[in-house]
Chains A and B, each alone.
Chain A
Amino acid sequence: MAKNTPTTGLVEEMQKREVRRSWLLSAPALAVLFAAASGPLLIVLVYSFLAGGRYGGVEWQLSGKAWFSVILQRDIFDDTVKLADAHLSILWRSVKLSFLTTVTTLAVGFPTAYFIATRSARNRNVWLFMITIPFWTNLLIRTFAILEVIRNEGIVNTALRLAGVTEQPIQILYTDAAIMIGMTYVYLPLMVLPLYAAMERMDFRLVEAAYDLYATRLQVLWRVIIPLVKPGIVAGSILVFIPSLGAFVTPRVLGGGKNMMLGNLIELQFGAGRNWPLGAALSITLLAVVMVALLFYVRTVQRGSARAR
């Protein structure tokens, strides 16, 4: 026994060094991330429990007012508490439009991903590249491209007028529909990529077996393909839903001043609204919803990869 001790000690010492080296190398990145990304989130949490200053900023006193006014408001005349309709309608619009965007991207993205996954190995990369390129280009520019298409003097309305279908332009810009079209356009790659990843490793022998057993094409789709790629469907849906819920640029450019979403409501509190604590409370609310969705996402992905093995 005594003979073994020095070597075990040496191995332990080396492992300790390796761990210390790992921490030392990671430390600078972690420090920057803490200072300019994670740490400030804690300050937001603190601010949500403070009272607002008259010209923006905060007063350093504890207050639950911000959290109260996330969904409630006190009547200015008789002091009764009721639901804050303005906030609720914005929250509802955010959830509704994010959900619709998710459904639309799924409806369009599913056939697209399937199309890419069933190409030959060489062509597949080209199609995949074509989906990825818009994803890496500027979100503002893509939103602007949609704005030009749907505005009253834009291509769609001009074409309809020249074709004699309409006399007056159809107002699409600055409506909820415009925001939804924009978000669908902008977030589509986020749906296609995980769907493709799931379809690419799908075992087509199962499809063949289903056809051998006299399944129709629709049955194969519903009973074989969709259950097989379900983790990809869930992953894609969450990846689209999360940024949609926190969208800021797209609703601002395409929704105009009236059709706000949660992100714009938050910005308002730090701008003209001058209610920093409320803005902080709304941010924490958004963050909490996103975290729940992410946990769900991680669990689905883990279960999916466990099954694939």
Chain B
Amino acid sequence: MRARRAFALKRLPGFTAVALTCFVLLYAPIVMLVAYSFNAGKNIAVWEGFSLQWYVSAWHNEQVQDATIRSLVLAALAAVFSTVLATMAALGTTRTRPFRGLTAVYAMINQPLMVPEIVTAVALLIFFALIKTATGIEGMVYLVAAHTAFCIPFAYLPIRARLEGMDLTLETAAADLYATPWMAFRRVTLPLMLPGILAGAMLAFVISLDDVVITEFVKSAGQETLPTYMLGQLRRVITPEINAISTVLLGISVLIVSLFFIISRKRA
């Protein structure tokens, strides 16, 4: 008798088909969006030949230039501030005996992940309006503060993960060799946790760069970022210029997230 094929233990009928369809449907709209950013025509459903004209027109659009610079500056500032704060908090909350209030600290740090964005946005709108009338201070401060706050949990998570996987013996050895606590930190702890810090900063940058809701409520007139500019444009006639901007933003996000994965997969 012919040997029977091994019984496929893990197979469930139809599951693979659904999964592969799911992946196709997940990527098809994005691929379409990118493809039509190179369309020569104005229509975003009919292909009229390859062209870079929409990238050129986006590049020369002053509103887009302005929003791009603001987005990048804001994301950079928020990433730096939130990463510094998150690094300190991670050093304070890992590798220590559980103490009273530790759970509350965790809850506080992760709070932006739990509260719906629209609620935080409304809260900040009210709060910042009060401060503005009381002090008269205007400017980017509010956006930077808001972005820094909601970026903290994203920066914190990879740093904490890195610290928890780290070996304590090296620091003990440094201390045994008469290194001061500060030297041990600078020469041993900090270099070891650097990949975590880098990963956290990248995540914070991407999260800040992509934010729509909170920015939309916090920004003053004329403080458009790229996402809020796009949200405004979507209510008007849509040209492939939006596709071109989207493609560039997507490219930046995918690049940074890929780097993030490469960095955080390296083990301590």
Q: Please list the residues of chain A having a beta carbon within 8 angstroms of any beta carbon in chain B.
A: 15, 18-19, 21-26, 28-30, 32-41, 43-44, 47, 57, 108-109, 111-112, 114-116, 118, 127, 129-134, 136-142, 144-149, 153-155, 158, 185, 188, 204, 207-208, 211, 217, 220-221, 225, 242-243, 245-246, 248-249, 252-253, 263, 266-267, 270, 276, 279-280, 283-284, 286-287, 290-291, 294
Contact = CB atoms under 8 A, between A and B. Distances in A.
Contacts of B212: 138-140, 249
B46 interface: yes
B117 A246 contact: yes
A37 B10 contact: no
B116 A245 contact: yes
B52 interface: no
Contacts of B20: 115
A33 B117 CA distance: 14
Contact of A266 (B19, B111, B122, B130): B122
Nearest to A22: B92
Interface string B107-130: 011011011111110111111011
A108 B13 CA distance: 14
Given A139-B210, A283-B118, A287-B115, A207 B22 contact: no
Interface residues of B, number: 87
A298 to B, nearest CB: 10
A18 B100 CA distance: 12
Given A133-B254, A266-B118, A32 B145 contact: yes
Contacts of B254: 133, 137
Nearest to A28: B85
A291 B46 CA distance: 46
A149 B29 contact: yes
Contact of B88 (A29, A41, A118, A138): A29
Contacts of B206: 136
25 contacts: A26-B93, A32-B81, A32-B152, A33-B152, A37-B111, A38-B111, A137-B254, A138-B227, A138-B250, A142-B30, A148-B33, A153-B44, A204-B9, A211-B9, A217-B11, A221-B12, A245-B116, A246-B117, A248-B213, A263-B116, A266-B119, A276-B126, A280-B122, A280-B126, A286-B118
Interface of B: 7, 9-16, 18-20, 22-23, 25-30, 32-33, 36, 43-46, 81, 85-86, 88-89, 91-93, 96-97, 99, 101-102, 105, 108-109, 111-112, 114-120, 122-127, 129-130, 145-146, 148-150, 152, 156, 206, 209-210, 212-213, 217, 227, 230-231, 234, 242-243, 246, 249-250, 253-254, 257-258, 261
Contacts of B261: 129, 132
B146 A286 contact: no
A140 B116 contact: no
Nearest to A143: B234
What 3 A-B pairs come out closest when comparing CB atoms? A25-B92, A246-B116, A115-B19
Residue of A36, A41, A140, A153 with most chain B CB atoms under a 10 A cut-off: A36
B186 to A, nearest CB: 16
A146 B33 CA distance: 9
Contacts of B242: 144
B29 A112 contact: no
B123 A41 contact: yes
Contacts of B112: 33, 37
A248 B214 CA distance: 11
B96 A18 contact: yes
A112 B12 contact: no
Contacts of A248: 117-118, 213
B124 A290 contact: no
A243 B36 CA distance: 30
Nearest to A138: B210
Contact of A140 (B81, B148, B217, B231): B231
B14 A155 contact: no
Contacts of A24: 92
A118 B10 contact: yes
A35 B92 contact: no
B127 A38 contact: no
B111 A26 contact: no
B13 A40 contact: no
